[in-house]
């Protein structure tokens, strides 16, 4: 039931997964749409520490959208196993994003790239399931990233797969500012 203190009524669990480009973009679109209704969104970016244009955009609408990054400005290397610093950064991301979810300050909380964090052995299935179990009734949560495990898919209310069909990156086009970064 919607109230002034709970404008969403029931919050659901959404998953944006798959190998295609657009998972974070879809989550950002949700935050932008929510902002249009006066809802507040927190985005915890796992594995991301370099500058992306969404950081600048969020600063312009900081009354509605907050983004924090929890990663190094380079890619995570996981072979033979993840670096201790990457593990600690992912645990910090999980703790802070979970705290935002429980704070009562946000209507939507996005765990951006948490699923990729699972693939890289930085976050466990049980930790993600615990987030889902602890989700307050009126908060919508979103997990993004490649390779959503079956247990997380089963626990979610909405699952969208972004399928990679064709990408100009394969033709040597680097990431473009404002489009991919």
Q: What is the pLDDT along the chain (181 residues), one digit of tens a residue?
A: 777 777 888 999 999 999 998 999 999 999 999 999 999 999 999 988 677 788 888 788 889 999 999 987 766 666 677 888 889 999 999 999 999 999 999 999 999 999 999 999 999 999 999 999 999 999 999 999 999 999 999 999 999 999 988 888 778 888 788 777 7
Q: What's residue 48's pLDDT?
A: 81
101-151: pLDDT as tens digits:
999 999 999 999 999 999 999 999 999 999 999 999 999 999 999 999 999
b/e per residue 18-57 (b: at least 16 CB within 10 A): beeebbbeebbebbbebbeeebbbbbbbbbbeeebebeeb
Structure-token match 């495990």, residue found: 149
In the chain the domains, ranked by start, together with CATH numbers, are 13-161 (3.40.50.300)
Q: What's residue 78's pLDDT?
A: 64
Q: How far apart are CA 171 and CA 54, in angstroms?
A: 25
Answer positive or negative: Cα dihedral of 164, 167, 172, 173: negative
H/E stretch holding 66: strand 65-70
Q: What's residue 75's pLDDT?
A: 65
Q: How far apart are CA 26 and CA 64, in angstroms?
A: 17
Three-class secondary structure of residue 40 per DSSP: coil
Q: What's residue 130's pLDDT?
A: 98
Three-class secondary structure of residue 16 per DSSP: strand
């Amino acid at each position: 039931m919607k109230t002034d203190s709970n404008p969403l009524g029931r919050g659901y669990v959404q998953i944006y997964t798959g190998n295609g480009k657009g998972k974070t973009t879809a989550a950002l679109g949700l935050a932008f749409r929510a902002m249009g209704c006066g809802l507040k969104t927190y985005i915890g970016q796992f594995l991301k520490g370099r500058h992306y244009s969404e950081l600048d955009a969020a600063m312009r609408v900081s009354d509605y959208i907050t983004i924090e990054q929890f990663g190094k400005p380079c890619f995570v290397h996981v072979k033979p196993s993840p670096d201790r610093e990457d593990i600690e950064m992912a645990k910090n991301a999980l703790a802070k994003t979970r705290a935002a979810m429980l704070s009562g300050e946000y209507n939507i909380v996005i765990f951006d790239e948490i699923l990729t964090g699972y693939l890289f052995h930085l976050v466990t299935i049980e930790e993600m399931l615990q987030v889902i179990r602890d989700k307050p009734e009126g908060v919508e949560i979103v997990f993004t990233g490649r390779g959503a495990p079956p247990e997380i898919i089963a626990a979610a209310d909405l699952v969208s797969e972004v399928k990679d069909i064709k990408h100009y990156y394969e033709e040597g086009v680097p990431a473009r500012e404002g489009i991919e970064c």
